[in-house]
Amino acid sequence: MAAELPSSSESGHEMEMCSTIDSSFLQGSGSESSEFSQSRNEVSSYSGQNEDSNSSSSDTVASKKFKRSKEDKICLVCGDKALGYNFNAITCESCKAFFRRNALKSDQPKCLFQNDCLIDVRTRRFCPHCRLRRCFEVGMKKEMILDETERKARMQKVAMNRQMKQKHPQVGEIIIKQEPVSISIEATSSMPDTQSGGDEKTTFPTVAFGNSQPLILPTLTPDTVPKDPKMYRILKTEEKMLVEELSVAYVETLGGFANETHVNKEESYSSADELVNNSEIAVRRLIKFVKKIAQFRGMSQENQVACLKSCVLNALLLRSVNFYDAENDAWKTPTGSIPTSVLKHATGFNDLHDAHTSYCAGLKKLTRDDSNIMALIQTITVFNPDGQNLENRQTISDIQDQFIQLLRHYLESEVSFMHSQLFFSNILQKISELKGLGEDHARILLQINSNKIEPLMLEILNLQ
DNA sequence: CTAGCCTTGAAG
DNA sequence: CTTCAAGGCTAG
């Protein structure tokens, strides 16, 4: 189906888009900044070759030509000695800190004079208003200040690294956990139930669309879980690190914090095309996620694009699991929950919506929001050797195998050799169901009026 | 609050 | 391994 890249001009475009998107995210924003134009590249070329010219029109700043040889960078705000770029302008440390503290404040102090105070290294403290104004004039960008979420993610990463380093010395023994069951699931003899009285033992993944068999889940209770440490795999350090990395990448980008109400507005939609457009942010996150995967970065651009395109729907579907509230059969949104039934009718694709929600319910039950597992599943779906237009399927298959194995090992380390088998096969089954679900969605997407869809989404979904 | 110093992760 | 650019911490 679906043609392929809208030919030449655009296809080159896309990767470019990816990288811009990526860097725009790197820069923070958090709230999708619409123009992700300039970024580090531009910045660095600027510093690399000097060339003032652009930047803030106004260049009262002394010394136009700071050919930084090394030690002569000058703060564009106050003229103090500068270290380098801070928030997109060369500034000293104090102006950097000043900007960080003040740029986001809503109630700025007023200037007591004429809004034109001289700002230099001595006077910079006197008028915060003019100092801040100056900061913006010289091109400092408040979007580059990390927002709450990003800061948290960063801190989390730091903490995790620290922890990891600490562990490193004695790799041998810390691995066995006290309670090996981070994922606990009780056996459920799930029948294709429709909607029974609706408490949690009910829903199981009976995807109406694809041919899915009900899963039989392992019984993991304190009694059935092996006590003997030998029943658990000990992950190699690299494996642990890899899982950790993926998980962090996942949480930072696609996952959000499982229990937190960190939900984004793009998850709420009321019609199918809106859904697609609202997924744009999610797509950017996906891009950001995959770019954190070394194996992905290692592929050719063509393969990267093809991979991305072929997994995008599946990835979005997978991600939606995070926003599914199984208890209430609702979608979590920033403004509260929306019962799935509401959306189901709003979108007008009832069956598909049912399939989708029951898929989410099932997967959620299976993974119990374990971000390690979700991250692995996401990764596995990214490297899908079956995608369209792939130039090197074998490589992709090999990479996928790596992660499949990693998943298996991870499960063995978490739930024991004994239980991991069933677990593993269940997860694989969910992954393969995803394919059908994705295709069903794709089919429907094709019916959507394409001029209502944003260009990025058109392109990435091959809707043109 | 400021401003200097420090720690980090990412990128080169 | 080095450099860059974020954030954190804290004496002043």
Q: For residue A85, which nucleotide's C1' is closest to its Cα?
A: C5
| Strand C contacting residues by CB (7 Å) | A 27-28, 40, 43-44, 47, 83-88, 96-97, 100, 144-146, 151, 154-155
Round to whole Å and give the CA distance between A314 and A216. 23
User: Which pLDDT belongs to residue A443?
Assistant: 74
pLDDT confidence band for A349 (50 / 70 / 90) = low
Measure, in angstroms, how far nucleotide B1 C1' is from residue A134 CA: 18
Highest-pLDDT range among A56-65, A300-309, A329-338:
A300-309
Which positions of chain B lie under 7 Å from any protein Cβ? 1-6, 8-12
Measure, in angstroms, how far nucleotide B1 C1' is from residue A33 CA: 30
pLDDT higher at A414 or A54: A414
Q: Find and give the residue nearest to B3, measured CA to C1'.
A: A94
Q: Find and give the residue nearest to C3, measured CA to C1'.
A: A84
pLDDT higher at A335 or A58: A335
What integer is the mean pLDDT of A39-61?
34
Q: Find and give the residue nearest to B9, measured CA to C1'.
A: A158
Measure, in angstroms, how far nucleotide B12 C1' is from residue A291 CA: 17
Q: Taking the CB of residue A76, how many other CB atoms lie within 10 A of it?
A: 27
What integer is the mean pLDDT of A384-401?
86
User: Which pLDDT belongs to residue A345?
Assistant: 61
Tens of pLDDT along A297-320? 888 878 888 888 888 888 888 888
Round to whole Å and give the CA distance between A31 and A336. 19
Look-up of token digits 């041998």: A172
Tens of pLDDT along A147-198? 877 787 787 777 767 766 665 443 322 222 222 222 222 222 333 333 333 3
Which positions of chain C lie under 7 Å from any protein Cβ? 4-9
Measure, in angstroms, how far nucleotide C10 C1' is from residue A124 CA: 21
Round to whole Å and give the CA distance between A317 and A321. 7
pTM for this structure? Answer: 0.51
Q: Is the pLDDT of residue A397 over 70?
A: yes
User: Which pLDDT belongs to residue A129?
Assistant: 92
Q: For residue A86, which nucleotide's C1' is closest to its Cα?
A: C5
